[in-house]
Chain A
Amino acid sequence: MSVIQDQVKVSGYGGQQGPGETNYINHSKGIMSWLLTLDHKRIGLMYMIAVLTAFLGGGLCAIALRTMLYMRSAPDVAPITTGTQDVYNQLFTLHGAILVFMFIIPAVPAILGNMILPLMLGAKDVAFPRLNLLSWYCYMAGATFFLFVLLSGGLDTGWTFYTPYSTSTSTSVAAATMGAFILGFSSILTGLNFIATIHMLRPAGMGWFRMPLFLWALYATSIIQVLATPVLAITLMLLAAERILHVGIFDPALGGDPVLFQHFFWFYSHPAVYIMILPGMGIISELMATFCRRQVFGYSFIAFSSIAIALLGFLVWGHHMYTSGQSAMTNAIFSLITFSVAIPSAIKIFNWLATMYKGSISLATPMLYALAFIWLFTIGGLTGVFLGALSLDIMAHDTYFVVAHFHYVMVGSMLTSFIGGMYYWWPKMFGKMYNETVAKVAWFLIFFGFNLTFFIQFIAGSQGMPRRYADYLPEFAIYHQISTLGSYVLAIGLFLVLYNWIQSLVSGPKAPQNPWGGNTLEWHTSSPPPHENFIEDPHVTEPYEMRAWDYDESIDGYVYDKAKAIELDKQSQH
């Protein structure tokens, strides 16, 4: 034992694994070794393939519908046909439903959370590996239902399934709700697993306040997934019961109340917005620390703001319904609580900025995404202040202003944090580096394209352009033209990222164990990690104490100096 420790003192974990040794990817072979795997990293990889495929599908819908809107801007365009309207309505519905249920919600927890959470805890796997595999199969089963929807007449209700339209349309509502229902179980199982794992499998020496902030964010997310998702499941079951058995719940023709559906739906779907953004915020905390190469400023405020957002997020659903006819008192209460959520979000932004103060800021690709996140999330958050204000929301509700707002938050912020996280952990997941120049060009196209696409929609919406319109009055043409051009730039940027990743897998140079100098535990094992994650137990210290990692030119990565780490740890205890 002491011999090993001596070695470690000299060379960190550098000697842990040589070239040609096994890792989780080549540990065993054959399709069944993947389909029946209990390894969280392999499940994360399978999620990655499935979720990115869904992202491609939902994204192509977006490009198609933006193209349709561009074509309506010609000055001598013929009156719109019902066939064109049907196609448009199905496209925006599938775009929303696929991307919300199959991409934004699972992307960070199911891909990066599965990959990284056990590694960050120095654990061998999640608490319930079989449940983890089951959650992937739930995802695939839910996805199959959506595939069936595509082939069986589509869906034209919008992703919100508002009644009584959703109980009266002839499209495949039953299959789609069944799909969303099953996808919900995938989400619940992942959340349950993460809560248990964080409670039970933290290593000796890692108290709650020595946990990386990404884990705090995943923990807060998991609470929402477990508590809110069942409400969606119940709501969708009631909707199916009304459609199939004609039980009057939401449809006034059967004695129901359509606004009740909106309450149920947003009781899940507003907290779900935080399922989408909180893990992204966790990633940003990691990126800020590593690429400023210093301790995060205000660790406990960032950690508690995640929990505060998770809890307050349950109490604001009514702000989706200011115009529905609910009482003025209800509106006022929801407006007040909505504004209170703005505070923890602002605290996070300020703390990230303070982390940059006196740091050593590297502009590596993941950090560029973190900086883009701050820009996009600030705009998304500030425009949320418009929508929280009652009188302004009356005007902006169901217009492109709202479309732009939630794309800034749910797409701009969440997508940049997800891609930033993918780049950050890419060397760890695959043991390969990527082409930095291509990655930066792609970043620029995404950042520029996104702002071009969506900023103009704030103006269109303020001018009164309603959302979900297949056709529009001529005065809105210029906004739609600019937005569509922006979406093409955004799409090119995203395809360039895909090319960048594939090229890295095919011919990327070998990645060192720790290319960035981060100190969270996933950097204490080889890249890619072995099947059992760690050959020896990693050394647990402050998660963002990076001074024990020394840069080594020969490997273009960082090497651990355990003796120094122990010394630094002693200092911090005093």
Chain B
Amino acid sequence: MLAILAQAEKTFFLPPGRSTVAASHDGLYQFVLWMSVIWLILIAGVMIYFVIKYRRKSPHDKPVGPTHSTAIELGWTLPPLILVMIIFVWGFRGFMDMNQAPNGATRNQVIVAASKWNWSFTYAGGQNDGTLHVPVNTPISLVLTSSDVIHSFYVPDFRVKKDVVPGRYNKTWFQATEVGEYNLFCAEYCGQQHSTMVTKVVVQSQEDYDAYIRKLDEIIMTMPPVELGKRAYKVYGCKQCHSLDGIAGTGPSWKDVFGKTQTFADGSSRKVDENYVRDSILNPGKDLVAGYDNVMPTFQGQIKEQEITGVIELLKSISANYDGPILDKAPAAPGDEAGADAGDTSGGGNDETGETQLQE
């Protein structure tokens, strides 16, 4: 239903505007577009008219025409000058609105962590997810950080884009005006899987958003560690490089790796145990498996202890080299039922919480 509505409002040139700054942007876009069309028709029209009117009659032609006129030169310099100054001021004011978050936006601050090739969003309460959920009609402030190379946060429907630069915090903001799901792209080339660094912004009513945040709160307490590991596998983008089926990707597959003895680039070797997995997540360049490039960013400061435990249990559960017990039961805590539901709240492009399914 929403998808159909969105389709209807899409213009030939622009996607539907779904944020408060879209109207200003789109107005200027239409202005420059029509100005361009008029100039193009004028220039091409004059050109074609002259070609027809002054077509060479004979190779003996020796035409004489005017060669200079300072008055004409200054005269035709003026209209473009005035037009570009109007466009400059209009574009600058639009930009200041895009750039300057309104008061109160920081109450809804989300930390956007970009890494090769994954988006991770951390909400004010410390919850995180691989899709960005926001309440509708509320200014959202974004703090952008990268743990490896430059990425760029880009949501066309909101007319918002900001580079995510390692070693500094860039900030931007938006206020969504319609409930729905919108594409979120990485716009700055960041290497091999740049084109798959695409996720969704899910705009929800305040009640749905609150319920979503509550569910995220419960996940760590209630989810069985193996399930928590599977969720982390998606949320932190592990799946971009590590397969679960034994096929080597940009990094080694996770199948059968736990308990195996890995050989490293420097010739040393080590058995994969809990500490090795923990090291690989927090300090990935330390023991680089032979045959692979050092491309993995660190997840220090992003991933929680429970989630590391979850990843370890996930590795155990898919390894033929491990025959010990696996923590696949939910911790004994209230809200078991909710915990089972929350298993859906995983990252990746097609993530659905119960709430978003309801809206559709």
Q: Does A362 contact B (CB under 8 A)?
A: yes
Q: Closest CB-CB distance, A558 to chain B, in whole Å?
A: 8
CA distance A293 to B61 in the complex (A): 8
Q: Closest CB-CB distance, A231 to chain B, in whole Å?
A: 21
* A169 CB contacts on chain B under 8 angstroms: 191
The number of chain B residues with a CB under 8 A from chain A is 93
Q: Given A85-B195, A297-B68, A325-B165, does the pair A398, B88 have CB atoms closer than 8 Å?
A: no
CA distance A459 to B44 in the complex (A): 21
Contact of A299 among B68, B157, B189 (CB under 8 A): B68
Q: Which residue of B lies closest to A255 (CB)?
A: B167
Q: Closest CB-CB distance, B288 to chain A, in whole Å?
A: 12
CA distance A289 to B106 in the complex (A): 62
Q: Mark A463-501, 1 if CB is under 8 A from B, else 0.
A: 110111111110000000000000000000000000000
Q: Closest CB-CB distance, A101 to chain B, in whole Å?
A: 18
Q: Which residue of A lies closest to B185 (CB)?
A: A466
Of residues 233 through 247 on chain B, the ones whose CB sits less than 8 Å from some CB of chain A are none
Interface footprint category on A: 35 or more
* B15 CB contacts on chain A under 8 angstroms: 463-464
Q: Given A343-B81, A363-B51, does the pair A469, B195 have CB atoms closer than 8 Å?
A: yes
Centre residue among A323, A328, A550 by max chain B CB count within 10 A: A323
* B167 CB contacts on chain A under 8 angstroms: 252-253, 256-258
CA distance A339 to B194 in the complex (A): 32
Q: Closest CB-CB distance, B111 to chain A, in whole Å?
A: 16
CA distance A467 to B196 in the complex (A): 13
Q: Closest CB-CB distance, A406 to chain B, in whole Å?
A: 15
Contact of A463 among B14, B35, B68, B73 (CB under 8 A): B14
Do A399 and B67 have beta carbons less than 8 Å apart?
Answer: no
Contact of B161 among A299, A328, A398, A547 (CB under 8 A): A398
Q: Closest CB-CB distance, B190 to chain A, in whole Å?
A: 6
Q: Does A158 contact B (CB under 8 A)?
A: yes
Q: Closest CB-CB distance, A40 to chain B, in whole Å?
A: 31
Of residues 158 through 198 on chain B, the ones whose CB sits less than 8 Å from some CB of chain A are 159-163, 165-168, 170, 183, 185-196, 198
**Residues of B participating in the A interface, judged by any CB pair closer than 8 Å:** 10, 12-15, 21, 24-25, 28-29, 32-33, 35-36, 39-40, 43-44, 46-47, 50-51, 54-57, 59-69, 72-73, 76-77, 80-81, 84-85, 87-88, 90-99, 148-150, 152, 154, 156-157, 159-163, 165-168, 170, 183, 185-196, 198, 249-250, 293-295
**Residues of A participating in the B interface, judged by any CB pair closer than 8 Å:** 80, 82, 85-86, 88-89, 156, 158, 162, 164-165, 168-170, 252-253, 256-259, 292-301, 322-325, 328, 331-332, 335-336, 339-340, 342-343, 346-347, 349-351, 353-363, 371, 374-375, 378-379, 382-383, 385-386, 388-395, 397-399, 458-459, 462-464, 466-473, 517, 546-547, 550-551
A-B contact pairs, 28 of them (CB 8 A): A156-B191, A164-B166, A168-B149, A168-B294, A298-B69, A298-B73, A325-B162, A328-B95, A343-B77, A346-B77, A349-B43, A353-B50, A358-B64, A359-B63, A371-B51, A374-B43, A374-B47, A378-B40, A382-B39, A383-B36, A389-B87, A392-B25, A394-B95, A395-B25, A399-B187, A464-B154, A468-B194, A547-B64
Q: List 10 other contacts, CB 8 Å, given A164-B150, A292-B54, A322-B95.
A: A88-B195, A89-B192, A259-B168, A301-B68, A332-B95, A386-B36, A462-B14, A464-B156, A466-B187, A467-B189
